[in-house]
Structure 1
Amino acid sequence: MKIAIASDHAAVDLKAELADWLRAEGHEVDDLGPATADRVDYPDFGYKLAAAVASGAAERGIALCGSGIGISIAVNRNPACRCALVSEPLSAALSREHNDANVLAMGARLTGVDMAKACVSAFLSTDFGGGRHAGRVEKLSQPAL
């Protein structure tokens, strides 16, 4: 699977560990940055990740920042993205099964490497359930204001 991954400075180490692990698992990983722990703004990298997923350049995305909150908000500004902030594997699986999430967000200050890998594994191995969820998911990309 082609996976785009991005973070802010607070999550650059977790991003590198996950990218290496995903490559070892056989996935194609596009690391969208940053390359160092120098201070950056998470919206810039969230928007970049969202564009990669929305355009089809990546099938799925992984968004990381200190808490996971800020970057998930940035990704979700793109109507083609459904980014789920999770901290454990069940939520990661349900985000796929019920919400057809195409981006997973986590907080590096809150989620350890092993738990992050478990979340990513659940996210990547779970299919969208469709059925009663399909109409709801479609509404997520077309908000009625």
Structure 2
Amino acid sequence: MAAKVVIGSDHGGFALKEFAKKVLTEMGYEVEDAGPESAVSCDYPVYAAKVAAKVSDDVLGILVCGTGLGMSMAANKHKGVRAAMCTNEYMAKMARAHNNANILCLGERVIGQGLAEEIIRAYMTTEFEGERHMRRINLFDQL
């Protein structure tokens, strides 16, 4: 299980990013904030790239924008990234268990803090099941 999480947002996801940092810290994770430092208008691909560059086997990422869609699209352009935009706990669990997602994308304008916390907890505590799913994960890099 990852001990460190890198988190980023754009202006539309800034408040939820700040909330998520608290949740992750309470869960015992080391949290690195890739920005931005305020809710001033900014470009989500910049922060998606910053987080994507830091994910690894030991580091997971979380990205937040207004819907989660832009962040997931931008993050998935980076080699080795498997970003999943999740709107419920089940999606978050399956993103980790079956798809070995290494970045969780959330939409501040789509979910509230309570649901966001449930999604984050599900994502962070679910392990990749490996084996039968690994063949499919390996195919991602061939696309």
TM-score class, shorter: over 0.9
In 2: Cα distance, 1:53 partner to 1:130 partner: 18
Moved over 2 A (4+): none
Kindly provide the CA deviation profile for residues 22-46 of structure 1, in whole angstroms up to 9, marking residues without a partner as x.
Answer: 1122110001111111000000000
Report what 2:27 is aligned to: 25
Identity of aligned residues (%): 37
Question: C-alpha displacement at 1:73, in angstroms?
Answer: 0.7
**Structure 2 Cα separation of the partners of residues 98 and 24 of structure 1:** 26
2:49 alignment partner in structure 1: 47
Correspondence for 1:104: 104
Q: Which amino acid aligns with 2:85?
A: L
In the alignment, the residues of structure 2 paired with residue 81 and residue 9 of structure 1 have an alpha-carbon distance, to the nearest angstrom, of: 22
Counterpart code for 2:124: L
- For these two proteins, the number of residue pairs brought into alignment is 141
Cα deviation, residue 69, structure 1: 0.4
* Partners of 1:72 and 1:105 within 8 A in 2: yes
Q: Distance in 1 between matches of 2:99 and 2:88?
A: 16
SS at match of 2:55: helix
State the TM-score, normalized to the length of structure 2: 0.95
Partner of 1:65: 65
Q: Deviations over 1:35-69 (max 9, x none)?
A: 11100000000011100115x6x610001000100
SS at match of 1:60: strand
For the residue of structure 2 that corresponds to 1:64, the secondary structure is: strand
Normalised by the size of structure 1, how large is the TM-score?
0.94
The Cα shift of 1:142 comes to 2.1
- Provide structure 2 residue ranges, at least 5 long, that are not aligned to the other structure: none
Structure 1 segment 1-145 matched on structure 2, within 5 A: 1-54=3-56, 59-143=59-143
Q: Which ranges of structure 1 fall in alignment gaps of 5 or more residues?
A: none
